[in-house]
Amino acid sequence: MINVNASNRLNRLPFSRAHQAVLVILSFAYFFDFIDLNTFSYAAPSLLKEWNISTHTIAFITSVSYFGMFIGASAGGWFSDRFGRKKGLILVVTFFSFFSLLSSLAWNPEILGVFRFLTSLGIGATTIVASTYISEFFPSATKGKYQAICITIGICGIPAAGWVAKLVVPSASYGWRFIFLFGAVGIFFPLIARKLEESPKWLDTKGKSEQAHRILLELEAKAEKEKGELPEPAPALRSRQTAVKSVPYRTLFQKPLAGRTFVLVTMWAASTIAIQGFGTWVPTLLVKEGVSMDESIVYVTLGTIGAPLGALIASQISDRVDRKWAISVLSLIIMALGFFYGINPLPMVIVICGFLMHMFERTFSSIAYAYTPELYPVEARASGNGLTYGVGRLANVAGPFVVSSLYSGYGFLSVFLFFTGCWFLCALTVGIFGISSKKQKMQQDDFISEETFVQQKL
């Protein structure tokens, strides 16, 4: 078997047109992933009238969607680890786009719920496969930056969906169907994804060293043509002797990965409940507190402007700081802002704190997307990434019911105390038990538990 030395050969590559092409392709995937994540929320008000359904039905479809994201993230990670990053990405983007198309044809709430569940399978999987690909393709020193850039571009899909919804949803009683059609544009993704190369690191773990070596030679030749002679790659710490065809999920809960899985599951569950709870419930809670519907929408919309800025900030700091401590500190900042928001629901506070919370939440999530896959070796990277992120989505199935009960029983402030508690748990867990990204060298991590995997396979 050829000693490909994929990690070190990729790490010494300068940013080239090949990297630029990957950014464009993955940003396209993220853009429509974020669009389809939000299309139902824009269609829901119209559905209440056209189908004469209750808010409980809307809540049920929303919860089912989050459950779909959990399954999709877990299954998509497994599929990507077994069959490849490129195949996985093409499959999941096409999958959620197809069922978004079918959502536009739904004829009753039950069928729409089924289609939204299936759409969410692909949405949850796309985030995992795309972030895993970035983690493996870009140099270790800059992968956090480019992960955040993809998120910055992708998250623009949220306001894009909002503007399209504003144009089409009120146009007719069936206008909500067009917002799902907009989300289905991602079905053309395979046409541009043909230019993607399979991950050389993944190929190397599967014993396809010749193919990995060929792709690396092509990337190196393109980089030398654009940038000049390349430095010699650092020597490989170890040579892989055995191809690992699959990694069972139980490996994620055994040494040396069990502690990492615990940290990441806690981080994603706590932060997702707080982020999605804030974004989903604040408009409704403000109205309940006496703010008019129009004012509530304006306040919340102004706050969301901070989201792309937050992802852009992450692109500048993610590779310059220890991601472990960045996640912990950002959690504490968001916690403080959320508490202040809860005790002072005044217009100026709502706008300013809302803007800052959205900004720091997206800085947090962009860095977390880079931090999660780097804690797992290549063999388990997408599976571990998918499971831990997916549990965060699964937690959101119960989140809406917790928030509703707290507000009904204890009022506005109790909801924000719950969110601050989630952020404190996140900060505490990552700060105490998390692994420092400055000490986590990817060329070592690729092989960190090879013996464990091989023994389990045998």
Which residue has tokens 């709502």?
A: 350
Report the alpha-carbon distance of residue 352 to residue 348 in Å, rounded.
6
Does 57 have pLDDT greater than 90?
no
Other beta carbons within 10 Å of 443: 20
Least confident of 136-140, 298-302, 364-368: 298-302
% the chain with pLDDT above 70: 87
CB-based contacts of 256, cutoff 8 Å, min separation 6: 448, 449, 452
What is the residue range of 315's domain? 6-197+247-445
pLDDT score recorded for residue 447? 40
> How buried is 181 (Cβ within 10 angstroms: 0-12 exposed, 13-18 middle, 19+ buried)?
middle
Q: Which of 366-370, 399-403, 429-433 has the highest mean pLDDT?
A: 429-433
Residue 27 lies in a domain: yes
- Give me the CATH number covering residue 103: 1.20.1250.20
Bigger pLDDT: 176 or 284? 176
Which residue type occupies 398?
A
Q: What is the DSSP letter of 269?
A: H
Instruction: Tell me the per-residue pLDDT of 196-239, one tens digit each, with 9 for 90 and over.
Output: 888 888 888 777 888 888 888 888 888 888 888 877 777 766 55
Does 458 have pLDDT greater than 50?
no
Nearest to 426 by CA among 265, 209, 307, 237: 265
Binned at pLDDT 50, 70 and 90, residue 150 comes out as confident
Task: Output the pTM of the full model.
Answer: 0.75
Residue 344 lies in a domain: yes
Outline where DSSP puts E strands in 58-205.
none
Residue 139 lies in a domain: yes
Could you please report the per-residue DSSP string of 337-352? HHHHHHH---HHHHHH
Residue 230 lies in a domain: no
Which residue has tokens 């459950």?
A: 67
Residue 338 lies in a domain: yes
Mapping DSSP onto H, E and C, the string for 312-323 reads HHHHHHCCCCCH
Report the alpha-carbon distance of residue 402 to residue 408 in Å, rounded.
10
Domain count, the chain: 1
Task: Taking the CA atoms of 250, 123, 245 and 208 in sequence, report the sign of the dihedral they define.
Answer: negative
Nearest to 74 by CA among 129, 150, 14, 152: 129
Would you give the distance in Å from CA 397 to the centre of its chain? Answer: 17
Residue 120 lies in a domain: yes
Instruction: Tell me the per-residue pLDDT of 420-454, one tens digit each, with 9 for 90 and over.
Output: 999 999 999 999 998 887 665 444 444 444 444 43
Residue 205 lies in a domain: no
Question: To the nearest whole number, what is the mean pLDDT of the chain?
Answer: 81
Could you please report the per-residue DSSP string of 224-261? HHHH-PPPPPPPPS----S------GGGGGSTTTHHHH
98, 213 Cβ separation under 8 angstroms = no
Residue 227 lies in a domain: no
Report the alpha-carbon distance of residue 152 to residue 391 in Å, rounded.
24
Residue 438: C-alpha distances to residues 12, 327, 373, 420 (Å): 18, 13, 14, 28
Mean pLDDT of 238-248: 55
pLDDT score recorded for residue 456? 43
Instruction: Tell me the per-residue pLDDT of 313-345, one tens digit each, with 9 for 90 and over.
Output: 988 888 888 889 999 999 999 999 988 888 877
Mean pLDDT of 59-78: 82
